[in-house]
Amino acid sequence: MEEITLRLENCEKWTKYKNLMNKTGDFICPECVRTHTVNVEQTLKMSINQEKIKRKKIEIAFESLSRENLHLKIDEHFENLKNKVDLHVEELIKKINDIRIDMVDKIYQKKNEFIEDINSVGFQHLNKENFSEEMENINDVLEKLVIEDNYLKNIDKKKCQIKKILDQLDKNKFERNKISNEIIQIVGILKLTEEKIQLNSTIGASEDFYEDFQPWL
Ligand SMILES: [Zn+2]
């Protein structure tokens, strides 16, 4: 706007609009060597200037109303929405993964506890190989019987301990939560307009104007 040229009243020379901006009343002519005054209001009131100002206003308005501009705003807005969703969902995925990592750590920790427990009860010595080897070195039947009784007792004890361990093992579980609407609550709610924008066609617009704006009406 400030670059348009206006005709000065009183001396009829041309000057840039910016030379008149923020001024009122009479002021020293910005274009003449000979000093005389021009009146801002009178200058602005001149039809030739009025027309130039109005034309520029319309041009500026068209620039801000241009389809590209609106396209850009629409693009930006929805891109921004998408980014917000992505960002939030990424955070959620990270949080969920942190919970998973923590659970996996605890699972392996518990597993190691079980392995340490069965190692500490000395199960490893009570086996078929040890039994056969021990029996080979004994000839006396009665002595064999005593040892066998002892083995049977220990086997019962081992069975009992294995049962305890298995019972305890079953108590370690993962209970799935139902994946339902709650997940939508966690992710958030996307609110999009349901109704179509009802725009009236521009009144009094020329053909060109209508054609230019039609695509987004
Ligand atoms: Zn002048």
The pLDDT mean for the chain works out to 87
Q: How far is the CA of 1 from the centre of ligand 1 (A)?
A: 21
For residue 212, pLDDT beyond 60: no
pTM of the model: 0.55
Q: How far is the CA of 10 from the centre of ligand 1 (A)?
A: 7
Q: What percent of the chain has pLDDT over 90?
A: 54
For residue 101, pLDDT beyond 80: yes
User: H or E element: which one contains 91?
Assistant: helix 67-120
Q: How far is the CA of 7 from the centre of ligand 1 (A)?
A: 10
Name the pLDDT band for 1 (thresholds 50, 70, 90): confident
Q: Could you give the 3-state DSSP secondary structure of residue 36? A: coil
Q: How far is the CA of 38 from the centre of ligand 1 (A)?
A: 7
Query: Span 82-87, mean pLDDT?
Result: 96
pLDDT of amino acid 34: 73
Name the pLDDT band for 78 (thresholds 50, 70, 90): very high
pLDDT of amino acid 203: 55
For residue 124, pLDDT beyond 60: yes
Do residues 42 and 18 lie in contact, with contact meaning Cβ atoms separated by under 8 Å? no
Do residues 18 and 3 lie in contact, with contact meaning Cβ atoms separated by under 8 Å? yes
For residue 128, pLDDT beyond 70: yes
Q: How far is the CA of 11 from the centre of ligand 1 (A)?
A: 4
Query: Span 173-178, mean pLDDT?
Result: 87
pLDDT digits (tens, 9 = 90+) for 33-73: 778 899 999 999 999 999 999 999 999 888 877 777 888 89
For residue 215, pLDDT beyond 50: no
Of 55-64, 115-124, 208-217, which gets the smallest average pLDDT? Answer: 208-217
Q: How far is the CA of 56 from the centre of ligand 1 (A)?
A: 24
Q: How far is the CA of 77 from the centre of ligand 1 (A)?
A: 50
Q: How far is the CA of 31 from the centre of ligand 1 (A)?
A: 5
Do residues 43 and 6 lie in contact, with contact meaning Cβ atoms separated by under 8 Å? yes
Q: How far is the CA of 27 from the centre of ligand 1 (A)?
A: 10
Q: CA-CA distance, 217 to 199, in Å (whole number)?
A: 6
Do residues 154 and 127 lie in contact, with contact meaning Cβ atoms separated by under 8 Å? no
What are the backbone dihedrals phi and psi of residue 146, each rounded to the nearest 5 degrees, phi first? -60, -45
Q: How far is the CA of 55 from the centre of ligand 1 (A)?
A: 24
